[in-house]
Each structure stands twice: as C-alpha cells, then as structure tokens.
Structure 1
Amino acid sequence: PPHLEAPVEIDLNRPMNEILAELSKYPIKTRLKLKGTLIVARDIAHAKIKELLDSGQPMPEYFKNHPIYYAGPAKTPEGMPSGSFGPTT
C-alpha cells in the first residue's frame, strides 16, 4: 500500500553479527523483507537442542548461524508447496 514505507531487505545468509547490527538500526515496527536461510522449528526442536547442551554436546552450527522461527504450519492447500505459518508460543 502507498502509505507504508518500503520494507528493509535483510539477507539472512550474512553472518549473524552483521544481521543483528543491521536490525539494531531500525525501530521494532519496521517492516522487513527477509531473504536467505531461515530455520523453521516447532517446540520439540528447542527441547532437543536443550538435551544436546545438557549432555555436553555443542549446539549445531546452523542454529548459531541462522535465525529460528518457531512456527506451526496450517494445512497445505492443494497445488501449493506449503500452508501459511504462524508463530507458536
């Protein structure tokens, strides 16, 4: 819509410290256009990572290098690769 500012493009394949530095320049309400790798996980993924850490194993590098979106998919419409995603709590 014409009344909205253009979104800020964020390349998620850049190093995490660069992504965080870029995001810190904008107010929290800023619209973003994300491109690159984004990990989508359910609540069980958090529990499995905790198990790894509790057993003395390191967190997988991809969890350190990419943002994690805790989300649950909706039903996939016919002919579409995925349904919509909504955040989990």
Structure 2
Amino acid sequence: MCQDAETESGFGTAVMLQMGFRSGVAVPVTTSSGVWGTVIVFGERPGVFGAEEIAFLSAFAAVLLLSRVVTMARSGVRPGVRRAGMRAAHGP
C-alpha cells in the first residue's frame, strides 16, 4: 500500500506521480496453489485507502476468483478447479 506517492520511500513512485496518482493499494487474488492475479487501485489523493477499502477490495478479489472458477467449470476446464480457494489476502 502506498498512502502518499510523494513521501513513499519503500519503492519508486515516479510513474504514479506522472499519471496523477498519489496513493495506491494492491490486493492479491489467491488460490490454494498461489497468487492467480492482483487487483490494483490508485487514488488521486493521498491516504484514500484504509481498512474499509482494503476489506472491500479483498471481497472483490474473492468474487473475481469465484467468477473465474465458475467460468472454468462451465467451459469444461478442470485443472485447478478443485484446488482453487476463495481466499483474498492483502499486505499491510
């Protein structure tokens, strides 16, 4: 999570700032076998992502994964369907 791209010291934020973003959060979409993808959201103001927004994005990630599992099952794709969990995780 980046609360303010202008003061972030853990990673480079030049591209965020060039695009007009000041904050951002990444929430992995995970299965029992690992990370399937990531939901990344940016904000134009600093500090717009708190616990409530992260909880919402985690729930969204779980719904996204469930949608993918259902789509795979309907199309007859079986690998990973039994292993897929509906767990969304996020970092601090």
TM-score when scaled to structure 2? 0.27
Query: Structure 1 length normalisation: TM-score?
Result: 0.28
Which has the bigger relative contact order, CA under 8 A and spacing at least 6? 2
